[in-house]
Amino acid sequence: MDAATAIYPGSFDPITNGHLDILNRAREVFPRVVVAVANDPGKAVLFPAETRLGLVRCVLKEIGADDVEAVGFDGLLAEFARTIGARALIRGLRAVTDFEYELQMALANRRLDPDLETVFLMAEARHCFLSSSLIKEVARYGGDVSPFVPRCVADALRDAFRSSGC
């Protein structure tokens, strides 16, 4: 295990400016940050796992974050974290409504791997209302999502809802 490696996992369906804020804060603290895009067949998502990963990579390129790796993973996060040697697991906290779910996940992950420490980071206040679900809803009804997501994500959302006719 490597104390210098942090994993930043999520569904990223799609990645938002709020996620990027958390990622950039993690980069300030950890020398190596790996963004891990979950492929959970039980979760209803707009974008397939390969597309979500492709969007994360596109965004990393857009912001010039050459130091950050993005990978996909299946199965248990704690096990995947171990395979990449991560000691820290990054999660963003927005409002108190996130807390119960995050606490449950952090405690479960601690049980699964006591050496994996969950680290919560708070996004800037102006990002605290952002969520992938909210952004998808705005995009579904033809609203402008460009203030909330990087350019390649805004393009992908526009294409997704144009082609689905929703």
Residues that bind ligand PNS (CB under 6 A): 9-11, 38, 40, 76-77, 105, 108-109
Concerning whether 94 is annotated as a catalytic residue, the answer is yes
Nearer to ligand PNS, 101 or 151 (CB): 101
Q: What residues have CB less than 8 Å from 100, skipping those under 6 apart? A: none
Q: Give min distance, CB of 78 to ligand PNS, in A.
A: 6
Nearer to ligand PNS, 65 or 105 (CB): 105
Q: Give min distance, CB of 98 to ligand PNS, in A.
A: 9
Q: What is the phi-psi region of residue 14: left when phi exceeds 0, alpha when psi lies from -120 to 50, beta otherwise?
A: beta
Sheet of 117-122: strands edge to edge?
Answer: 69-73, 32-38, 2-10, 86-93, 117-122
The phi and psi torsions of 90 (rounded to 5 degrees) equal -90, 130
Q: Which of 91, 127, 132, 136 is catalytic?
A: 132
Residue 50 DSSP class:
H
Confirm if 56 and 19 have CB atoms less than 8 A apart. Answer: no
Q: Which of 91, 94, 127, 136 is catalytic?
A: 94
CA separation, residue 97 to residues 100, 129, 161 (Å): 7, 11, 28
Concerning whether 19 is annotated as a catalytic residue, the answer is yes
Q: What residues have CB less than 8 Å from 71, skipping those under 6 apart? A: 34, 35, 36, 37, 53, 84
Q: Give min distance, CB of 108 to ligand PNS, in A.
A: 4
Q: Which of 19, 25, 52, 136 is catalytic?
A: 19
Q: Give min distance, CB of 57 to ligand PNS, in A.
A: 17
Nearer to ligand PNS, 75 or 143 (CB): 75
Active-site positions read 19, 43, 94, 132
